[in-house]
Chain A
Amino acid sequence: MTDIISPQNEALAPALLTTPPVGGGVGLPGGPAKKRLGPFFWICAGWIGLIILVAIFANLFPLPKPDFENFANPQNAGPAWGHLLGTDDLNRDIFSRLIFGSRVSLVVGFGGTLIGLALGGLPAMYAAYRRGRVDTVLNTVSYAVLAFPAIVAVIAIGEFWGHQLWKITLVIGVFSAPLIFRVIRASTLSYASRDFVMAAKALGASDRRILGRELLPNILPTIISFGLIAVATIIVLEGTLAFLGLSVPPPTPSWGNMLNESASLLSGGKGQTNPWLVIFPATAMFSLLFTLNVVADKLRAYFDVAEVKL
């Protein structure tokens, strides 16, 4: 979203995360080494899994309500035994808000990517397989939409349509579709004219079978590794919107609007600052984006997905 996926910064994300082999194809003696994902991959994947599990089962933990302004609590307090990560300017528990706030990022990130895959990925496979006029038209449309700064479009649409979670997810998902279209189209094109597709055609396989059973398994690695980058990119876009106060409105916590609150404290508007309200959401956001990037990059290397030319 020009961020759709904008972001950011966004259109080049796959190119950025792909590091071509150094040495111009100098082979290792003794054949290629056995591929492994490595422990770092599993640590990062585990962290993402943990965040997802905690977000799903957040209600089961003995946490104070995330939007409960408990005046018995201290205001802007640092980490302490009663409040592991301290409290904010409205006496709310930061740890609880952080846990419940992860839901917004995860729903928008994964939901938006699924919408983008449905709206961009499916047409892309079909267009790249059939070529012809459909392909030309969809290709031009995707270029045109990508030229439009998605952050501006998403801000404008949110302004008149509203900022509920499902609306934000849908709008961001729609604007991520052109980018996903370009990536999946390029990947499908590289397989669509191979011999095994010809063979399937000669055997009389239907288009649906060729797309589903011959092409899809081959482009699945691209879908998975690029999909994770799309998730990270969409989370950044939602976070930016939330920081600008244009995503899911308070008191519902999200990492972006927690950073927005901390920034309004920084500007001294309320005569108080709370460093913890900056540090914890920023760290949480960094850890999620970083692990998503690592997992995507390692998977890309593992599956040997070629650098995608947009």
Chain B
Amino acid sequence: MNERKPQGQQTTMETAATNRNKKGIAKPAKLSREVQARLGQQLRAMYDEVVSQGVPDRFTELLNRINGGGSKDRQ
């Protein structure tokens, strides 16, 4: 069968980003899972707050207007 290789990962850039802890500095190169999880939660909470607002009328109306294109008498 044809083997599916994962696309050649460009690890060099990643390494550069994560391996920047210097000797003796307590700061970990990688954020702890807990920190990542908390940041992720906040990001999603902020994002979902907007998503939960649904589709504002202006967009429904816009599509109706385009769609109507004369066939319907609705505004």
Do A and B interact with each other, yes or no? no
List residues of B whose CB falls within 8 A of some A CB: none
On A, residues with C-beta under 8 Å from B are none
